[in-house]
Amino acid sequence: MLWIVLSVLLWGLLHSLLASLKGKELARQVFGMRVNRVYRLAYNVFAGVSFLPVLAVMFLVSDHPLYIVPFPWSGPMILGEFLAVIVLIAGFFQSRPLEFLGISQLGSSIEEPARLTTGGLFHYVRHPLYSAGLAFIWLMPLMTVNVLAINIALTVYVITGAYFEERKLRREFGQDYANYMAATPMFIPFLKGNKSRRESSGL
């Protein structure tokens, strides 16, 4: 269990360092401005490929079940996972998918100004992809020791990474993002802030 947690946290640390403004600036210093064309795409590929060793550790370490939620009690959990997948897909398309994947950047070495997305799912939570991802992994009807370990590690990484990501977004968007934070919950819809958001929108 410990090896799984450590491998996920190591993966998360590398992932966060590469996503940081300092990481991108270091890449520009080493490779020049042309790195802007491929940085996002290379980052996504690295994030996916580097997670494979984490999965390998998960399958190599001995495991045993903790609980199995029987049917029909597992039905709402499976439904919740299905809805989480829908939210993940919708959130992905609302995040400008070509830019998110790094494909739209391939044509130019000039980095386009970042744009703040506050509509759609982002009207209800600041991180809908994170929220849906966490809901999916914790709603699994079958829980084993290894799955629990990776779920805990991923949850710690997602929450910690979201706070660091928001520090970067506050530097990029200034008061606009501060207002967005004050009006919109971080992970759980309707938890706080939506009233002030509706008032500022004139609704």
What was the pLDDT predicted at 24? 82
DSSP 131-165: HHHHHHHHT-SEEEHHHHHHHHHHHHHHHHHHHHH
Inter-residue contact 137 to 151 (CB < 8 Å): yes
What was the pLDDT predicted at 109? 60
The DSSP call for residue 106 is G
pLDDT means per 10 residues in the chain (203 residues)?
83 83 83 83 89 87 92 95 96 86 75 80 94 96 93 91 88 91 91 50 41
What was the pLDDT predicted at 91? 92
Distance CA 191, CA 167 (A): 21
Which residues sit opposite 65 in a β-bridge?
A: 144
Q: Is 64 exposed, middle or buried (0-12, 13-18, 19+ CB in 10 A)?
A: exposed
Q: Does residue 142 sit in helix, strand or coil?
A: strand
How many CA atoms are closer than 13 Å to the CA of 126, on its beta-carbon side? 23
What was the pLDDT predicted at 140? 95
pTM metric for this prediction: 0.83
Identity of residue 162:
A
